[in-house]
Chains A and B, each alone.
Chain A
Amino acid sequence: MVARKKKTDSAPAHPKERYLYWYELMLRIRRFEERALVMYGQQKIRGFCHVYIGQEAVAAGIESAIRREDCIVTAYRQHGTALGRGVTSREAMAELFGKATGIVKGKGGSMHFFSAKHRYFGGNGIVGAQIPIGTGIAFAEKYKGTDNLCVTMFGDGAARQGALHESFNMAMAWKLPVLYIVENNGYAMGTSVSRTSNVVELYKLGASYDMPSEPVDGMNPEAVHEAVSRAAEYIRAGNGPYFLEVRTYRYKGHSVSDPAKYRTKEEVEAYKERDPIKLIESIIRDKEIATEQELQAIRDLIKEEIDDCVRFAEESPWPDPSELYTDNYVQADYPFIRD
């Protein structure tokens, strides 16, 4: 393929390292999820499995804009968010396989990755329940006197839960350092946003609580990064919470068992035209931010990494059945009923 020569006049808006970080992370997520679907088809992965394909720019733009010591909590479409935090492909794929080497030792599966060292609070399976939890994580940061924030992510379906309103209200009343991000991918499972409420522009939900709120193009990591940076600065200054509606799209169904018949092929294709990975690739090329060789090196790295993580998951042992009785209680000698 002949490298395009179409250098635009304007300088890149971000440093080279950031573009390459976005490219690598989004490619890692995309290839990881594609492989997860293949493995699901081979029944190596069981249970529920919700992939992040199409939404990669959200994880990428958030991570480049916040600090490692900030916290993130999200819902069950979470492989990409966890990979963004720094959970390795090996730990993630092994978890999907249910192996002892997984990020939570085979105890969580697709919906429940957690990583204390990455300040990643999961991986939560009850729609919207993580909204108060993220608010509480932020409460603790304020209580301890840090300037860390908690990014509390949820889907458009969760935006209809009462937990959102209770959390928004208390976070504003107490000026908690929480950045709420709704990943609006248009559909709560099979039900479109417009069918669930009179209010379809979700950022407007913040207005009831006087919470600063804005919509963001979620197909572009530059836009996500810039909005999250602004919001984070506002929050760290002690002003209280901020709410971003990140408008994104999932290319696949809600879960592996969803054929997504509630939307048109044309709609899906239109979003694929705005694919975040293609977008960043074209910006890198057009603005000559990096060479084709550098991009190829990243693609090779990711291909090897994904092949490796599947091998690792395959070869890893199952958790011992006795592990069923660990991590239910901190108390080491808890007397389980075992008669």
Chain B
Amino acid sequence: MYDLIIKNARVVDGTGEPAFSGAVAVSGGRIVALGNDLNGDARNVVDAGGLVLAPGFIDSHTHFDAQITWDGLATPSLEHGVTTVINGNCSLTMAPVRAQHREFVGAVFRQIEEMPAAAFDAGMRWNWETFDEYLATFREHLGINVATLAGHSMLRLWVMGDAARERCATEEEVAQMQQLLRECLDAGALGLSTSWVDIDHEHRPVPCRLAAPEELDALCAVLGEYGAVMQVVPEFWDPDLLCVRIDILGELSRRHGITVTFSPLFDSNATPQIVERALDRVRLQTLHGAHVVPQMQTRPIDVTFEFDVPTSVFSTRPTWWAIILKPHAETLRDFQDPELRKQLLEEAYNAMHPIAIEVHFPDFVVNRCHLAHNKPLEGRPLRDIAAERDCDPVELMLDLAVEEDLKTCFSALSVGHDNLERITGPITDPLVQIGSGDGGAHVTRFATYGDTGYLFSRFVREAGALSLEQAVYKLTGQVSRNWGLVERGRIRPGLAADLVLFDPDTIDRGPEIAVEDLPAEGYRFVRRARGVEQVYVNGVLAYSAADGYSEERGGRIVAGPKVAA
């Protein structure tokens, strides 16, 4: 007797092959049979009613490293059909970290991934140091599969201490990092992550950026021993720098026989040729035997901000930046200073756009108001409100922020990666993997969930740029192939029963909403899913649209190809 049969489904198996009508049988957490005419008894029989049954989606660029320690479901990933998340990107991981470095690592993580400090501090019960100990804290509580990279910055910090932030490593230190990386991989790390761009909370380069090229090469040699993957953040806003980095990654890939992936590959009005140039370089490297995988997110860039916290929207406007960095009372004071106001308006209208995004202040939308009488302004662009009130939109924003003690949230919508004419081709390119979603990060700035649903709604249904089967492949089989997740990403006998049942005509992301479900009553932006009916993780029903999240925990730690989970 099977544990589960899902029958009457439109099975899309994650390989890109045409769908077929049939059934899938599951036993012991594995797919054991599938076909048009599957017979047999099962403890649980689900009639899919003609809905699509696909492999569970794999979200390859997430930062649930902290959240997973208090939320074994990595919410809201599951409801979007995601059954595996890959954490530990961009050189930042919660292990291996010595106790004396927890404060520093926590501060860096909160700064770069824009996580509320109160939630981080309340949620993290930091009682581990090694990678093995870290995984052990949540291994038994997972409702979703979790793969985790080992962060290059953390390896340096472990071996070199504070010197990791100051200098290159010695040969001996590099050898120690190599051994530490082996220990992480043996414990279940999926690979290595590093960054060429991130800065910490003190505006200094994160530790991995102090590495000489020989150090990264030595670590890639270890990845080659394990068949593991490296993820990198390159200078994604500069075409010339990005192409150099692609060449570097190609060389590392060829020399060590590894897959290297970089994220993000962003389109921008400031550099409209960047995606095309980057893909040309990836194609060249691929022709020469490298496996370099660019990751693109499906969604446009939205940024939501409030003036008590610095945000990239103001990074090229020095007066704004300086004022926002001041203590609350001084920011309030300066926003009301007539002379400073003149400077703020001048910069608002005439300064350079920030990296990778294009912001026009009058187009900002009032996202959330603190005072009841201002609530009717929510959802409205500054431009429209200012026209009604016969005032300048930027002055309006400042007045509103001051009135609300800087508690107003504003949104800069579609400020990048929103030119569908330029993006659609690359999204559908066989070399490009869907990723860079950043789930778990930037939670008080924008919702990093729902890219999977948006792929179907925007690029399958609206644009017709991808078939249903191709879209499913890009979220499953392609990702599992790139990352060496050999047991997932396809519906095949013997593979893990990570499955999602969805309506292809309605699957989508919902609107961005604020929810207060973080520790210490913090809020974050999320999107609910549309059109996802059921999600199974290793054969366990983890989520259903009818009943929400299940109490059962079927998630596993997903390790690299050489190590069993």
| A and B together in one complex | no
A→B interface (CB under 8 Å): none
B→A interface (CB under 8 Å): none
